[in-house]
Amino acid sequence: MRAGILLFDGFDELDAIGPYEVLQNAARFGADLEVRLVTLHPQEEVVASHGLRVRPDGVLEDGVDLLIVPGGGWSTRAERSVRAEAERGELPEAIAKRHSAGATVAAVCTGAMLLSAAGITAGLPAVTHRSAVEDLSRSGAEVIEAARVVDAGDVLTAGGVTSGLDLALYIVEREWSAQLANRIEREMEYERRGEVYRQEGHEQS
């Protein structure tokens, strides 16, 4: 599996780095997985919302199997933020293109608003940070506020900054095994929290 974590100026650090560490651990423990930090265009450095400077691995390419989209700055309306990227439109367009090509798209926190701007959450169950719940609902998504992670098949969302860890561990369990996900939990000394809501059958776990 080829996974890309999509970075942009103003992304929230934990939204991206949490899933990155989980997925890198999965690869280290034997999962057939390549994880890259990518940008839409060539960029030597990306500055996150709290000032962390990251050197990406490269640009988002066709053929990615899993695209993880962090949030950051939806409620602050900062010049560099999810909201600014949603309004510019180029990032949502790229997300929609990869989704149409068959990639699974997963959003952490207010990254769901980029998926919304891409037109891929309308009519689907989804969740986001509480500051963006009303906006996500107005966009046509069925917001599942009680869920930590929402699985709508090839569109996954997670609510809250630290939910990127839960989302990534759930992806490992879904794509590989519960045993592998549990091993990573133990390695990181992290305990998953909250409910996973699956669209299929509308079951909770």
pLDDT at position 76, please? 82
For the chain, which ranges sit under pLDDT 50?
A: 202-205
Spacing of C-alpha 190 from chain mean position: 19
Question: 66-69 and 58-59 as β-strands: parallel, antiparallel, unpaired?
Answer: unpaired
Give, for 82, the enclosing helix (H) or strand (E). Answer: helix 82-88
In whole angstroms, what is the distance from residue 77 CA to residue 19 CA?
25
In order of their start, the domains of the chain are 2-204 (3.40.50.880)
Name residues whose C-beta falls within 8 Å of residue 19's C-beta, 6 or more positions apart in sequence. Answer: 5, 68, 106, 108, 164, 165, 167, 168
In whole angstroms, what is the distance from residue 144 CA to residue 30 CA?
33
**Cβ atoms of 111 and 71 closer than 8 Å:** yes
pTM: 0.95
In whole angstroms, what is the distance from residue 43 CA to residue 49 CA?
17
* Amino acid at residue number 170: Y
Residue 127, number of CB atoms within 10 A of its CB: 30
131 DSSP 8-state letter? G
* Amino acid at residue number 154: D
Q: Minimal CA–CA distance to 98: which of 109, 106, 86, 88?
A: 106
